[in-house]
Amino acid sequence: MVSPGRENVLCLAERMMRKFWANLSDSSENTWRPVPLKGAENVRAMIRSGEDEEGRPPGTAIVIATSVWVPASPRRVFDFLHDVHTRNRWDILTCGHVVKETGHIDNGCDHGNRVSILEVKSPEDQIVVILLQESYTTFTSSYVTFAPVEACTLDMILNGGSPDHVPILPSGFSILPDGPTRDGGSGSLVTMAFQILDNSSSATYIPPESVATIFKLVTETAECIKAAMFSPSNLGT
């Protein structure tokens, strides 16, 4: 990527990252509510409206979040989540599709610190969705954020158009070190937050079918991550 497209992509990725962390923050603006389903004791949800702030897609979005502990080092978890080749192992929305990185911008000395454009294609080679992804790691914490971007919007910002008003709906993961395993390896606390547009919801009400859908998304993702990290090849790393 070359300027001005490069700078535009970095600006959009930064805004995506800031919105992701704003969603996770425990502030008066974020009204988290329990999810009324069996097994959802550690899952929280909230409603965000596209009318609340500039840069959100129009309509109502549900944000759902939870945290899981896994017996693997933060580095191992980070590599697993940001690597395009392992995305199908945790992202149930890309199951059965091919995920390819079509471009990236390095964003630090570590090879994992980068902003990427990912194409998700069907077996028939049709583009299903384009994702903007930012991944970043330090010795204290790591994150992977991503959001769908329309093809025409991506072309616009790559050709010099302003990214300032591009609607963005970020999801992602934060990864923190969290104690050793019984075998002396490292553990990690992974917090995930996903957003989906759902115009059947309102500021005070989430329909039961929407609750079930988002709960399935977050719990199956968590189970996929735990299964990968609990495998014998990953224990103690």
Assess if residue 39 is contained within a domain. yes
Residues 97 and 120: beta-carbon distance below 8 Å:
yes
Q: What is the pLDDT of residues 22-36, one digit of tens each?
A: 888 866 667 888 898
Q: What is the pTM of this model?
A: 0.90
Helix/strand/coil percent split, the chain, to 5: 30, 30, 40
Alpha helices in 25-173 (DSSP H): 74-82, 151-158
Structural domain boundaries, residue 42: 4-230
Query: Up-side HSE of residue 24: CA atoms within 13 Å toward CB?
Result: 22
Q: Using one digit for the tens of pLDDT, what is the confidence trace for 71-115?
A: 999 999 999 999 999 999 999 999 889 999 999 999 988 999 999
236 within domain boundaries: no
Domain count, the chain: 1
Query: Are 109 and 7 a contacting pair, CB within 8 Å?
Result: no
Average pLDDT over residues 7-12: 94
| Cα–Cα distance for residue pair 51/19, rounded to 1 Å | 15
Which CATH number is 203's domain given? Answer: 3.30.530.20
* Residue 99 falls inside a structural domain: yes
Q: Is 237 part of any domain? A: no
> Using CA atoms, how far apart are residues 93 and 24, in angstroms rounded to an integer?
22
pLDDT one-digit tens code per residue, 142-172: 999 999 999 999 999 999 899 988 999 999 9
Closest CA relative to residue 131, chosen from 118, 143, 140: 118
User: What amino acid occupies position 154?
Assistant: L
**Is 69 part of any domain?**
yes
